[in-house]
Amino acid sequence: METKPPGYDEYLRMYMEMVSFAKEELKRRATSPVHVPREKIDREFAGHNWVLLVDPRIGFNSRIIRFWINGFPPGEAENKWQFMGHRHTVEAVIYVLKGYGYSIIDGVRYDWEPGDFLCVPVFAWHRHINLSNEDMVYVASTTGPLSMGIGVAIYEDERFPEYWVFAQKDTNEKKSLIPGAVEIPDAQRGIPEGIDPKEYAGSTAAKIYFDQLTFAEREEQARRGGKVLVKGKDLKFEKTPMGWVAPVVDPKLGFYVKVMSTCVAEIEPGKRSGAHRHLYEEVNHILAGEGYSIIEDKRYQWKKGDTLSIPVFSWHQHFSTGKEPARILVHTGRPAMENIGLMITQQGEVAD
Ligand SMILES: [Fe+2]
Ligand SMILES: [Fe+2]
């Protein structure tokens, strides 16, 4: 009689866990929430000034994007920032709903008002200052779940220095009143003293390794050269098979983003968007209008202030049924999936 080697059943179980993952994931997706009505914000915003709308920690099948609404009171002191603000190893796109003021991002001031977008690049020091006499309110999408999943989510906040990982207390940032106002690093700085690249001329392995040593400096230079602010008045809607779309934040538009992209879709009353599905997750926030969406086989009725979390590879199509055009703020994880070579988009019905 054949005997199993030690640990056979355990190995078989772990292997079958991988084989069955995709089908199990379909079941998890089918039972995770999709629609977040505006009433959740109405109920929870007061008192917290922060409501998580889409997050894996509250049951959503989202692995890349976190989406929330946030508010802070007028005045610089209220946010308790002194000099640096904070930074995080996640990308963030902010859409201003209420209030006006400015943000300092990597040492540069950007003035904003309702309808504007800010793209905070990964690990850029930033702080927001509300100059209006009402709360500043914004919705923000970040790539926090992805960074946490791969074990590199670092949030450094000047108010909590005990949690800093890289920001030493004696850095130039600490001396400056402007977060990020330190010199842009020299792309050669990653090569330690005592190593002369010329000694390795002709070595392909050494060339690959020197690229690795200087990667961070080159990326930081690229990051500081990326676009940050998009004024709402500059949105330009153009026709696509999915309907009228204004691209906002995209690596193809000169923003330093590798994971997330943002656009705004507009659907005239009585019209529909196209239908499609794709191997990236998407969060929709209704900025104006009302209507419904068909996501896979279910219908979700929505209005201004509602949010939809569209699971990976589920067919979706939107229908505008209100009196004014529907406007949908769309955040996706498309660039991340393109970068890891796992992106498929299939077009169904075309927009009318
Ligand atoms: Fe932030
Ligand atoms: Fe989509």
Q: What ligand has the least distance to the C-alpha of 91?
A: 1
Query: pLDDT value at position 28?
Result: 92
Say how far apart CA 294 and CA 36 lie, in whole Å: 15
pLDDT interval class at 184 (50, 70, 90): confident
Q: Which ligand is nearest to the CA of 143?
A: 1
- Please give the distance, rounded to the nearest whole angstrom, from the Cα atom of residue 106 to the centre of ligand 1: 12
Task: Tell me the pLDDT tens digit for each residue of 145-155.
Answer: 999 999 999 99
Triad 327, 329, 333: Cα angle to 5°? 150
Between 346 and 160, where is the model more confident? 346
Indicate whether 119 pLDDT > 90: yes
Ligand 2 centroid, distance to 277 Cα (angstroms) = 6
pLDDT computed for residue 169 by the predictor: 63
Q: What is the DSSP letter of 153?
A: -
Q: Which ligand is nearest to the CA of 88?
A: 1
**Which DSSP state fits 105?**
E
pLDDT at 303 over 60: yes
Q: Give the pLDDT confidence score for residue 164 in this predicted structure.
A: 84
Closest ligand relative to 105 C-alpha:
1
Per-residue pLDDT of 236-291, as tens digits, reads 999 999 999 999 999 999 999 999 999 999 999 999 999 999 999 999 999 999 99
Q: Residue 335 Cα, ligand 2 centroid: separation in angstroms?
A: 13
* 328 CA from centroid of ligand 2 (Å): 11
Residues 6+ apart with CB under 8 A from 305: 37, 38, 41, 286
> Is residue 209's pLDDT more than 80?
yes
Confidence tier at 175 by pLDDT (50, 70, 90): low
**C-alpha of residue 107 to centroid of ligand 1, in Å:** 14
The 10s digit of each residue's pLDDT in 37-46 is 999 999 999 8
Written as one letter, the residue type at 223 is R
pLDDT at 73: 85
Residue 180 has pLDDT above 70, yes or no: no
pLDDT exceeds 70 at position 176: no
What's the fold here for domain 235-347?
Jelly Rolls (2.60.120)
From 45, 136, 144, select the one nearest 99 (Cα to Cα).
136
Q: How far is the CA of 329 from the centre of ligand 1 (A)?
A: 19
Cβ of 336: how many Cβ atoms within 10 Å? 23
| DSSP state letter for 255 | B
The pLDDT of residue 334 is 98
Distances (CA, A) of 37 to 182, 253, 301: 43, 32, 9
Confidence of residue 174 (pLDDT cuts 50, 70, 90): low
38-160 and 235-347 share one fold = yes
- Under 8 Å between Cβ of 146 and 259: yes
What is the 3-state secondary structure of 262-321? EEEEEECCCCECCCEEECCCEEEEEEECEEEEEECCEEEEEECCCEEEECCCCCEEEEEC
Query: Which residues, in sequence order, are CB contacts of 179 under 8 Å at separation 6+?
Result: 83, 84, 85, 87, 104, 105, 106, 107, 125, 126, 127, 173
Sign of the alpha-carbon torsion through 60, 64, 68, 70: positive
Ligand nearest to the CA of 126: 1
Mean pLDDT, rounded, for 304-309: 98
Cα of 76 vs centre of ligand 2, distance in Å, is 38
Question: Domain extents for the chain?
Answer: 38-160, 235-347
159 falls in which pLDDT band (50, 70, 90)?
A: confident
pLDDT mean over 93-100: 97
Structure tokens at 254: 């000169």
CA 156 / ligand 1 centre spacing (Å): 9
Among the listed residues 91, 95, 101, the one whose alpha carbon sits nearest the alpha carbon of residue 65: 91
Mean of pLDDT values over 16-37: 95
Average pLDDT over residues 46-67: 94
Q: What is the mean pLDDT of residues 70-78?
A: 79
- Strand-pairing partners, residue 247, are 263
Cα-to-centroid distance, 286 and ligand 1 (Å): 22
Task: Quote the longest CA-to-CA distance of the chain.
Answer: 82
User: How many whole angstroms from 142 Cα to the centroid of ligand 1?
Assistant: 9
Give the global pTM.
0.93
Average pLDDT, the chain: 92
How remote is the CA of residue 282 from the centroid of ligand 2, in Å? Answer: 6
32 CA → ligand 2 middle, Å: 18
**Is 167 a residue whose pLDDT tops 80?**
no
Asked if 289 and 322 count as a contact pair (C-beta separation under 8 A), the reply is yes
Q: Give the residue with greater pLDDT, 298 vs 220.
A: 298
Cα radius of gyration rounded to whole Å, the chain: 23
pLDDT of 79 above 80: no
**Nearest-angstrom CA–CA distance, 352 and 347:** 14
Ligand number, closest to the Cα atom of 128: 1
- 38-160 topology per CATH: Jelly Rolls (2.60.120)
